[in-house]
Amino acid sequence: MPVATLEFEEPVAILLKEIQALRLMPSTPDRQTTIARLEARVQELRAELFGNLTPWQRVLVARHPERPVMLDYVDRLFTGFTELHGDRRFADDKAIVTGMAHFHNKPVFIVGHQKGTDTKQKIYRNFGYAKPEGYRKALRVMKMAEKFKRPVIVFVDTPAAYPGVESEERGVAEAIALNLREMALLDTTIVVIVCGEGGSGGALGIAIGDRVLMQEFAVYSVIPPEGCAAILWRDSARKVDAADALKITAPDLLAMDVIDEIVPEPVGGAHQDHALATALIDEAIARHLAEVSAMTSADRLETRYQKFRAMGREGHAFVSAPLAAASE
Amino acid sequence: MAWFKKTRKPIEPQTDKSSRVPEGLWIKCPSCGQVIYNKELTINLQVCPKCAHHFRMNAADRLAMLFDDGQWTEHDADLRSTDPLSFTDTKPYRARLKASIASTGRNDAVVSASGLLDGMPAVVAAMEYGFIGGSMGVVVGEKITRAIEMGIAQRAPVIVVCCSGGARMMEGTLSLMQMAKISAALGRLDRAGLPYLSIMTDPTTGGVTASFAMLGDLHIAEPKALIGFAGPRVIEQTIRQKLPDGFQRAEFLLEKGMIDYIVDRREMKAAVAHSLRIMMGLPPSARPVASAPPADA
């Protein structure tokens, strides 16, 4: 099965169909060269298309059905992954996976949203919409990492926290809030990578760290573009405009210092080549982990505090201007 | 003989769900339909004298109600958003900011202040719903963070009066990050052993709930305040059915174990003072503590 193409990949899709048709015919040296030429053209087109993606197109890439999900990365990055279940209070949330493993032979703890790949898995994982018990499980495991002084690696990929009755009843807001506070104080290294959709508070609830990395075509937003369009434009069809206005892409967020580094993806997005996408993540995580782990604990905590303290800086995001000057 | 039995339904008061800060000479209570003289409402702390419906209260009145003799020192009043994303929806964000600054006389959606509360030094930040729905952008984040840092520096308790629809979309991911910024500061306040009281008023939702509203040593709510993470409409869309009455109201949260107590606004100051005295290790107040209406009432 070829990887599904997105709506804006139309020119690529046409070429791919052509290649497929040629492949069905008896192979001749002539056809082989044509196929090779077309394939080269596909790569070229892809590089061109993905070099100029609009924010909304990036949203589509981040949500691509074949984009690697957390457990795909876990399989390739770590050895001896042992999943740890449950928040010890209410249940085991399937939308957040926690565990421990070795990363380049060093013991680490792992936390992340898991979306699921096929329909059955997606339903089992609640499409990556975590409930309060997911955030509480994450905190439990991170506290354990702190106890044993092991680093935590976090994968962020969720549309949002689950907006349902039971979420509210069990205090999803409190669960996220507590994570924000305790992760800021957690006395061990935390490296976060936003590898798909960084959906609002549901993402932030496990995304406090010494380093926050972001994959090239991932998005990170205060509200999904559809939701923003429905509220501000009163028309969810204006999602393309909303995606533009919200500044949710990795380059935008790097410019605002919301993230520390963009992790590149294979040409055409991570879904084109899971192995290469993983290798690129591997290098970035290993480097940041080494840098942060070399810091003293007091240094690390102070730097982490100042990192988030500086989100929205004076002079950039706000100024000091007396009210009297407001009329101009 | 069915027509004899036809019972006429009593005319029910129109329930206007959106309770605004009232303007004009006479106000109709959206809950019981009583027509109230505006001045009487102000003296009664924006609480309906007949049915105790809590109208929304602006930040200044809120601070006057909590601080002794209505006296406080405001901080960081000058901070103003630069519109860091150059955001435009149907209207430029700058225009929205300008309109809100003109209508509220505030630079953004929170007023932070310090003063005495029942004789105790305290830092209070009160949110202004009239300013883009009390939404949290960088200025709200910065001012509340500074208020918390002031509490730590002066070893004073911190109180935040929440009244907000959540994070401000027009400042994008930077708004989201304010949740992290404030929560980190609250972590330091917590470890410094100082009290933090979160007072939740109607409405407290979204990113505000999922950060500083839910990190209090005490969670205090006003009666019937809407408190939740996801908005009721979003939940209804998810579960495809209507939510029961009272869902996400203060009483519901009390039942679910999310808040410590619900208190009538007219008793709010006494309740806060009493709790603070116990936390700060002080004897009971020598004189009765009363929530005061604004001085110009």
Q: Let me know whether A180 and A273 are in one domain.
A: yes
Q: Let me know whether A36 and A100 are in one domain.
A: no
Higher-pLDDT residue of B241, A283: A283
pLDDT band at A327; cut points 50, 70, 90? very low
pLDDT of B159 > 70? The answer is yes
- What domain range includes position A38? 7-52
**CATH number of the domain that residue A166 is part of:** 3.90.226.10
pLDDT band at A5; cut points 50, 70, 90? confident
pLDDT of B10 > 90? The answer is no
Q: Kindly report, residue by residue over A208-253, the tens digit of the pLDDT.
A: 999 999 999 999 999 999 999 999 999 888 999 999 999 999 999 9
Alpha carbon of B207 to those of A41, A294, A324, B158, B182: distances in Å?
46, 34, 31, 19, 11
Alpha-carbon distance A41 to nearest alpha carbon in chain B (angstroms): 37
What pLDDT score was predicted for residue B120? Answer: 96
pLDDT band at B286; cut points 50, 70, 90? confident
Higher-pLDDT residue of A247, B244: A247
Q: How many CB atoms lie within 10 A of CB A182?
A: 18
Distance CA A150, CA A40 (A): 45
Residue A7 contacts residue A275 (beta carbons within 8 Å):
no
Mean per-residue pLDDT for A14-24?
91
Q: Measured between CB atoms, which of B89, B184, B256 is closest to A184?
A: B184
Q: Let me know whether A48 and A132 are in one domain.
A: no
pLDDT of B295 > 80? The answer is no
pLDDT band at B22; cut points 50, 70, 90? low
Cβ contacts of residue B269 below 8 Å, gap of 6+? B65, B66, B117, B118, B289, B290, B291, B292
pLDDT of A323 > 80? The answer is no
Cβ contacts of residue A316 below 8 Å, gap of 6+? A256, B82, B84
pLDDT of A2 > 70? The answer is no
What pLDDT score was predicted for residue A127? Answer: 95
Q: Which two tokens stand for residue B126?
A: 């009160």
Q: Please report the residues numbered 199 through 218 in chain A whose beta carbons come closer than 8 angstroms to any beta carbon of chain B.
A: 200-201, 204-205, 208
pLDDT band at B1; cut points 50, 70, 90? low
pLDDT of A328 > 50? The answer is no
The amino acid sitting at A143 is K
Query: Domains plus CATH for chain B?
Result: 23-55 (no CATH), 56-279 (3.90.226.10)
Domains: count for chain A:
2
Give the least confident one: B106-120, B164-178, B240-254: B240-254
Answer whether B14 touches A (CB < 8 Å): no
- What pairing do the DSSP bridges indicate for beta strands A106-113 and A96-103? antiparallel
Residue A1: inside a domain: no
Omega cis (within 30) before A224? no
Q: Let me know whether A22 and A108 are in one domain.
A: no
> Using alpha carbons only, what angle is made at residue A207 by residues B141 and A195, rounded to the nearest 5 degrees?
125
Q: Kindly report, residue by residue over A167-200, the tens digit of the pLDDT.
A: 999 999 999 999 999 999 999 999 999 999 999 9
Q: Measured between CB atoms, which of A173, A185, A241 is closest to B209?
A: A173
What pLDDT score was predicted for residue B12? Answer: 66
Q: Phi and psi of A12, rounded to 5°? A: -65, -45
pTM, two decimals, is 0.92
Q: Let me know whether A152 and A225 are in one domain.
A: yes
Q: Let me know whether A38 and A110 are in one domain.
A: no
| pLDDT, averaged across chain A | 94
- Could you give the 3-state DSSP secondary structure of residue B18? coil
Q: Let me know whether A169 and A302 are in one domain.
A: yes
Q: Let me know whether A24 and A119 are in one domain.
A: no
Q: Let me know whether A38 and A149 are in one domain.
A: no
Query: Given an 8 Å threshold on Cβ–Cβ distance, is B169 in contact with A231?
Result: yes
Answer whether A301 touches B (CB < 8 Å): no
Distance CA A150, CA A102 (A): 11
- Provide the residue count of chain B: 297
Answer whether B191 touches A (CB < 8 Å): yes
Answer whether A186 touches B (CB < 8 Å): no
**CA nearest to A206 within chain B:** B180
Q: Let me know whether A127 and A15 are in one domain.
A: no
ipTM: 0.93
Q: Please report the residues numbered 26 through 45 in chain B whose beta carbons come closer than 8 angstroms to any beta carbon of chain A.
A: none
CB pairs under 8 A between A and B: 209
**CA nearest to B254 within chain A:** A169
- What pairing do the DSSP bridges indicate for beta strands B110-117 and B73-75? antiparallel
Q: Kindly report, residue by residue over A274-284, the tens digit of the pLDDT.
A: 999 999 999 99
The amino acid sitting at B148 is I
Q: Let me know whether A48 and A28 are in one domain.
A: yes
According to DSSP, residue A249 is labeled B
What pLDDT score was predicted for residue A236? Answer: 84
Q: How many CB atoms lie within 10 A of CB A144?
A: 16
pLDDT of A326 > 50? The answer is no
What pLDDT score was predicted for residue B199? Answer: 98
Give the least confident one: A254-268, B74-88, B224-238: B224-238
Alpha carbon of A228 to those of A172, A236, A244, B278: distances in Å?
21, 8, 11, 44
Residue A2: inside a domain: no
Mean per-residue pLDDT for B245-262?
95
pLDDT band at B21; cut points 50, 70, 90? low
Q: Let me know whether A42 and A90 are in one domain.
A: no
What pLDDT score was predicted for residue B16? Answer: 56
Alpha-carbon distance A266 to nearest alpha carbon in chain B (angstroms): 26
Q: Which residues of B touch A220 (CB under 8 A)?
A: 173
Higher-pLDDT residue of B238, A114: A114
